[in-house]
A and B are shown apart, each in its own frame.
Chain A
Amino acid sequence: MPSYARPHTLDQALDLLAQGGHRILAGGTDLYPAAEAQLAGNIIDITALPGLDAITAEGGGFRIGACATWTTLADVPLPPAAYALQQAARQVGGRQIQNVGTIGGNLCNASPAADGVPPLLVMGAEVTLASAGGLRRVALNDFLIGPRQTARRADEVLIWVHIPESGLAGRSAFVKLGARAYLVISIAMVAARVVMADDKIASVAIAVGACSGAALRLDGIERGLIGASASDISDLVTSQRLAALAPIDDIRATAAYRLDAAAELICRAVAEAMQ
């Protein structure tokens, strides 16, 4: 008989996880679509764990609880470097999904098209995984291994997403491309965070989603854009510099189109972040 638990302390949750054989349920917006009448297996519902739905200051940066919903992320005041995250939050599914879907679930589900990932990557986000053995902190790009694959062990639960102070410089923007206006699963998406000095790019972080197994930071383009002004951008974003991406042909678009689109979206996201 499958079990269901909705613990009210982290220790209870970790004890259950340590027993093995459990699935973690957060917002449910990925688990339920794949389910029959009920969820299969033993379920630990983490939405009653205290404090996990909040966003709090931490050092010079901030910390997002794993169960913070998209609506929460969109509505709370965040610094301009997190605008991309807020723009992404307003474009995940419809408002019904935004009201229950969580940032932690989005990361652990590890879809190549996860909307939350590029905005977090450009802020250098890290995640904290908790288990009965303790806490460990992992950089987000190390946490995401590939499509539907993460570094989370079966006895661990993702509890926090950390945005370091260094990730909060400048301003960010998010651009998502799909074939319809709402409920878009993206063909490609880009987040860019730009720090300006004297009308030129002092530093920039760029991440592209839906064009590789997991969203990627594009170091080559980032380096190439330092010192650039607005009019230089499109010449500096070349498809050679997108070589790290490995898009696929699927029902939404061709791989070749995705590369072209990614280049254009990078230009637009950077331009928007520069304003």
Chain B
Amino acid sequence: MIRFMLNDAFVAASAAPTARLTDVLREHLGARGTKVGCDAGDCGACTVLMDGAQVCACLIPAARAEGAVIETIESAASDLALLQAAFLRHGAAQCGICTPGMLMAATDLRRRIPHPTEAEAMDALGGVLCRCTGYRKIIAAVCDATNPPDGAAQNGLGAPVVRLDGRAKVTGDSFGADHVPHGALTVRAIRCPHHHAAFRFGDLATFAARPGIAAVFTAGDIPGRNAFGVIPPFADQPAIASSPARFQGECVALVAFEPETDPDLTDFPISWQLLPSLMTPAEAEADGAPLLHPSRPGNRLIEGRVVKGNAASALSASAHVVQGSMQTGFVEHAYIEPEAGSAWMDGDTLTIRACTQAPVMDRDDTALILGLPPVRVRIIASAVGGGFGSKLDVSLQPLIGLVTLKTGRPSRMTYSRSESMTSTTKRHPSEIIGRIGCDATGRITGVEVEGRFDTGAYSSWGPTVANRVPVHISGPYRTPHIHARARAIHTNGPVSGAFRGFGVPQAALWQETLYDRLAEKVGLDRLEFRILNALQDGDASATGQILQAVGIGPCLSALRPHWARALVDAAANGTRKRGVGVASCWYGCGNTSLPNPSTIRIALSPQGRVVLNQGATDIGQGSNTVIAQIAAEALGLPLSAFTLIGPDTSLTPDAGKTSASRQTFVSGRAAKAAAEGLRAGILRLANAGDQAILSLEGATLHITEGSTTHAIFLAALAADAHGNVVTHQSTYDPPTTALDADGQGKPYALYGYGAQMVELEVDPTLGTIRLLKITAAHDLGRVINPQLATGQIEGGIAQGIGLALMEEYIPGRTANLHDYLIPTIGDVPPIESLLIEVPDPEGPYGAKGLGEHVLIPTAPAILNAIRHATGAEITRVPALPHRVLDAIRKAQKP
């Protein structure tokens, strides 16, 4: 028995002496506010205070806690409370998975240094990784936690409303691993240790008969169609593979363990036979290469193309043409929450509560795999500790679903860090090569480009990347002639899927670095070159779509004074060389040429609450708050009257997936329409006109028109099937058209735009980069919540920094958070956000999407700044120090 003081209470736990303290807290004492991100001291999510000092609870033996004072996020300490309030005020928590660790590290700091500087805050929090926020708001909160928050809550459209789920985020939210049904079996996967291997099972029955093992399942146990995929016509990925396994980390069997037994997989009876593996698209496209999927010749999943005008002749007639290539590797999402969830039977409904970005897609895929009608599967979204695209695909949902369906017992599963990194999707590695031309005055004439993307072993979002890249290949610049192709090639690498930008960030690295070279050839300032070519209202896009509400010009213009200042600053060179770079983005919001409706239901309850049934998953980006703000505006009642329900496939209508920067736009439009409908329904109760003012006082609704006020006692009205007295539900589906064989059509109903400027310093002897400042101008159409918007910008920039400077996932080598590097709190410079509003009539109150846009310009702007500083042309990211130094030396050769 181990006894210690936990947040002012004496506790005792019968844990093994070398059990991790995280395990003692979470499993033995039920204190699940402390999160586990890696079990290796690499991420700091589990940071607690032991005798006042911050430690990673995953590295502390239970026995060493004996007699200690352990403080966790559940503590009621007043200094922690001040920090929690500051985190809310500053928007320092997004998904909330790193927040408990951040807060405990900050508590340790402020007890040592009551008024820390930014540098001291960074030193103290340097051991906690955050993947959402870009850290800047965390630093601000930690340095500003001295005073209790002042009074009035912000309200209304355009106000920096504190996120509605914020309280949960700063007190240890309930993520996939944090709900444990009583008696749940612990599910573990057997995964392929090789890139490509045939396998045979030994005596499974004997293994299954071991004490503590409840059941073993293999592909043969799957009752439905053992193939899932986010794009149904391409569905090809087995939930549990039958031989052969096509990538390292693929699940081949499940073992369900009884509660409170050590889930020991040693000696699982399986033998592997290595098969030749195709690890690059070049190998996979070579003549005679074996096929991963017999129906896909040349291992080609798909090719997307956009052809407009005649690029070849336009380029040959151009005054200036530049040619270049760009190479990128696998990039891991590295959300701090590894996949986790639990499952149980509710009558004959299989209920799965797990992290997800797409509850309805999870339901449909899981139902297909398990041979159930969709109505018999219920998906409840847990709090999601970061997604960025990877939690769109199912991971453990069909696995725990199978165990619970077959055994009738609750089950749970939490991926280890390495399991999360090896088995889930990645950003597509890319090789892009092509030419861009312009006329003598600097106007872009044409683009000719070919991209090859490593889509890994299964289809996932490969088709989307192949289609999005050609559509966006011009960047937000007027380009009359385009010939662009992008193909997705299968390899035995990890499955490449969705990652913030669907291939567009890779393409932007290519195109934006070439535009700098083109500007130089013409003799134009690099920013002015972009302004000259910026798309305007009425211009045709690469797909021939006539654009409206184009915001790129205003974004680039907003950078002008910053650019002029930065160029002067950069000219003052010391031994470190300073550079300035700029790059733009545009990005279509919503599915490419495919329907993607959102449905929102909103109602008034007899108790006088506005019940917002919103099935859009908030993965930290803020849709819970933004959609509610839009609904509150349209309804005319304050946010404080709102109760949020969902996402839960049995309670909330389908608001689609959280991807493609679509929730503010598509679900926002549905929420606006639903709230307007509810308002109309309410006004009808009093035959009031549209200008009437609504207010709620307990269960009484007041409708005021001029000097007349109607009071309606809601509890006296008849309730509908959902228990509400007035309800409205609306659906919005963005108007798009299919693309023809040349990729012409209207793929998106609206686009968002942005441009970022990077100032940095290069150490020319070591090839290291120090970022000094990033200025980001983004056109949001209409700013719904500036706090959340700047949070998205800062977080996207942090991921762009990672893409540019340090992140490369190497299969079999970097499946942990010390070999796979993501930016730490010291790697993100000060960021100045310039919020631009060019309202799009299609968006709710003019609003556009933002979530993916923000990542796109960062990496190319960094490369452009490196070139400005040193002349070095980087054609492969990440720009690790040795690559930068090589490029500097090449540039110095005469």
Contact = CB atoms under 8 A, between A and B. Distances in A.
Interface of A: 2, 4, 6, 25, 27-29, 32-33, 37-39, 43, 45, 47, 71, 90, 93-97, 99-100, 177, 179-183, 185, 187, 251-254, 256-257, 260-261, 264-265
Given A32-B41, A180-B823, A251-B819, A257 B126 contact: no
B882 A37 contact: no
Interface in B127-142: 127-129
20 contacts: A29-B41, A33-B816, A37-B263, A43-B17, A96-B44, A96-B105, A96-B127, A100-B56, A100-B59, A177-B766, A177-B768, A177-B881, A180-B805, A181-B126, A181-B827, A185-B818, A251-B814, A257-B881, A264-B766, A265-B766
B56 A257 contact: no
A4 B826 CA distance: 39
Nearest to A267: B765
Contacts of A177: 766, 768, 881
List 7 A-B pairs, minimum CB-CB distance, nearest first: A94-B127, A181-B826, A182-B126, A257-B882, A33-B40, A4-B17, A182-B824
A94 B126 contact: yes
B810 A251 contact: yes
Interface stretch (B18-26, B214-222, B585-593, B648-656): B18-26
B324 interface: no
A183 B824 contact: yes
Given A6-B64, A95-B124, A257-B767, 12 more contacts: A4-B63, A6-B17, A28-B60, A28-B61, A33-B39, A33-B816, A93-B127, A94-B125, A97-B59, A179-B880, A182-B825, A185-B819
B61 A96 contact: no
B806 interface: yes
A43 B64 CA distance: 13
A27 B50 CA distance: 13
B448 interface: no
Interface residues of B, number: 59
B16 A38 contact: yes
B267 interface: no
A42 B810 CA distance: 34
Contacts of A183: 42, 126-127, 129, 818, 824
B53 interface: yes
Given A47-B64, A96-B56, A251-B813, A180 B41 contact: no
Nearest to B57: A96
Nearest to A261: B766
B98 interface: no
Interface of B: 16-20, 23, 39-42, 44, 47, 53-56, 58-61, 63-64, 105, 108, 122-129, 262-263, 765-768, 805-806, 808, 810, 813-814, 816, 818-819, 821, 823-827, 878, 880-882, 885-886
Nearest to B46: A96
A94 B225 CA distance: 47
A209 B800 CA distance: 31
A38 B123 CA distance: 30
Contacts of A264: 765-766
Nearest to A252: B880
Nearest to B66: A6
Nearest to A183: B824
B63 A45 contact: yes
A2 B20 CA distance: 15
B881 A71 contact: no
Contacts of B18: 2, 4, 25, 38-39, 43
Given A32-B58, A100-B55, A185-B818, A179 B805 contact: yes
Contact of B55 (A33, A96, A180): A96
A4 B126 CA distance: 32
Nearest to B47: A96
A232 to B, nearest CB: 17
Residue among A33, A94, A256 facing the most chain B CB atoms (10 A cut-off): A94
B61 A39 contact: yes
A43 B61 CA distance: 11
A29 B56 CA distance: 9
Interface centre among A47, A99, A183, A253, by most chain B C-beta atoms within 10 angstroms, is A183
Contacts of A28: 59-61
A79 B497 CA distance: 55
Contacts of B881: 177, 179, 187, 253, 257, 261
A32 B54 contact: no
